[in-house]
């Protein structure tokens, strides 16, 4: 796929989805092509999967994404997605929120090089000596932590700018000759969807996989971010959920038409909430900045991962604070919530964490005789998750 066109398409799809979130739901949540779904698109489908003995092209994969978005739109209009979201108990929503926070912090530690792969123990501390990127990342964490504790607005952005500036001064990042550039054409990707495999059962396996991961990643992100920002109602439900979900569905279809993988609500929206964002105005500003980024690609590209990593760690900690709202006297609520929380970073999947939380919640409630706490939708979801794992 043409890289320059992909950069522009990513920005345009993100801007559209984020703007729709503001208009339809008035939430401070941004949308973009999901990184996990990007990886599945590239490595799980295009590079490895075959349908009728032939490799799946990226045009065919885009068709699967487009159909998945259309299915989402239909389910949203029938309120099925909203009903599933509201059926999840408040305790699990708290666990999901904290789990996303732990996941974000873990990603930040990895991006900073502080936590690395270790063949003996799975994870370990990265080398500190002569590791300037890690040292700068830890300095960034200190700067952001202090500024956040002092309630300085824009603390995370200031930290990113300072660390990027230091890195540029030390020659660790290349300063572009010009900060503004003409955006490439998106013609190589525009409406390149290929529906030729639509009659193949194997093709629908691809559609279902995109559908499943997107469904529960989106659900987890919306619940997690809105719980931490106080946007859930007294029953732990999400007001205007239908508008938020419709924005997600339309953005996914539009993104596929333009040439990118599934567009979904993303967990880094928490950084905007952490800085005070509470309404769709936050999303409108973010959408406009996505459009501006098309012209400032060289400037955006010089920001290193170790400058943004500390922001993820701080935001992750911010989201984990929601664990204080759990009822620790009722272990039938607390255990499933915490297991779901832990599974997200350990399995590297928001959807997997939600699966474990829901199945464990239903099973524990059944064996402790608390049948009235379980809704029919929770039982149905639990059965589907178990069937998915054993039949996969």
pLDDT single digits (tens) 145-183: 999 899 888 888 899 999 999 999 999 998 888 888 889
Question: Reduced to 3 states, what is the DSSP secondary structure of residue 58?
Answer: helix
Would you call 163 exposed, middle or buried from its count of C-beta atoms within 10 A (0-12, 13-18, 19+)? buried
Query: How far is 126 from 112, CA to CA, in rounded Å?
Result: 9
Q: pLDDT value at position 321? A: 82
51-75: b (≥16 Cβ within 10 Å) or e: beeeebbbbbbbbbbbbbbbbbbeb
Would you call 336 exposed, middle or buried from its count of C-beta atoms within 10 A (0-12, 13-18, 19+)? buried
Q: Which two tokens stand for residue 109?
A: 């530690």
Query: Would you write out the chain's pLDDT as a tens digit for each of its 392 residues?
Result: 888 899 899 999 999 999 999 999 999 999 999 766 776 788 767 877 777 788 889 999 999 999 999 999 998 888 887 787 778 888 988 888 788 788 888 988 998 999 999 889 999 999 888 899 999 999 999 999 999 899 888 888 899 999 999 999 999 998 888 888 889 899 999 999 999 989 887 788 788 778 877 777 777 778 777 877 777 777 777 788 889 999 999 999 999 999 999 998 887 787 788 788 889 999 999 999 999 999 987 887 788 989 989 988 988 887 788 788 899 999 999 999 999 999 988 988 777 888 899 999 999 999 999 999 999 989 988 998 888 777 65
Q: pLDDT value at position 35? A: 66
């Amino acid at each position: 796929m043409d890289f320059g066109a992909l950069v522009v398409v990513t920005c345009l799809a993100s801007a559209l989805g984020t703007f729709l979130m503001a208009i339809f739901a008035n939430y401070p949540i941004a949308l973009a092509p999901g990184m996990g779904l990007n990886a599945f698109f590239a490595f799980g489908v295009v590079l490895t999967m075959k349908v009728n003995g032939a490799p799946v092209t990226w045009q065919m994969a885009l068709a699967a994404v487009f159909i998945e978005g259309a299915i989402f739109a239909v389910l949203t209009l029938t309120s099925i997605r909203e009903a599933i979201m509201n059926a999840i108990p408040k305790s699990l929503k708290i666990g999901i929120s904290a789990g996303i926070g732990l996941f974000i912090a873990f990603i930040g530690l990895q991006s900073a090089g502080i936590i690395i792969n270790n063949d003996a123990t799975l994870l370990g501390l990265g080398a500190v000596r002569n590791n300037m990127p890690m040292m700068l990342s830890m300095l960034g964490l200190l700067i952001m932590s202090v500024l956040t504790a002092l309630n300085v607005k824009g603390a995370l952005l200031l930290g990113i700018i300072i660390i990027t500036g230091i890195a540029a001064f030390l020659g660790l990042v290349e300063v572009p000759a010009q900060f503004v550039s003409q955006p490439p054409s998106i013609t190589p990707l525009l409406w390149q969807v290929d529906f030729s495999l639509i009659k193949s059962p194997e093709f629908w396996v691809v559609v279902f996989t995109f559908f499943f991961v997107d469904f529960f990643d989106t659900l987890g992100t919306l619940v997690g971010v809105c719980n931490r920002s106080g946007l859930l109602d007294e029953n732990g439900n999400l007001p205007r959920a239908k508008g938020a979900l419709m924005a997600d569905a339309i953005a996914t279809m539009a993104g596929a038409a333009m040439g990118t993988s599934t567009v979904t609500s993303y967990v880094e929206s928490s950084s905007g909430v952490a800085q005070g964002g509470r309404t769709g105005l936050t999303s409108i500003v973010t959408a406009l900045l996505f459009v501006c980024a098309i012209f400032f690609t060289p400037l955006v590209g010089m920001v290193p991962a170790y400058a943004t990593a500390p922001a993820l760690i701080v935001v992750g900690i911010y989201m984990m604070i929601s664990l204080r709202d759990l009822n620790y006297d009722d272990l039938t609520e607390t255990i499933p919530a915490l297991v779901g929380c832990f599974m997200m970073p350990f399995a590297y999947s928001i959807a997997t964490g939600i699966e474990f939380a829901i199945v464990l919640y239903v099973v524990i409630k059944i064996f402790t005789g608390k049948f009235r706490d379980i809704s029919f939708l929770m039982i149905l979801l639990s059965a589907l998750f178990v069937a998915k794992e054993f039949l996969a």
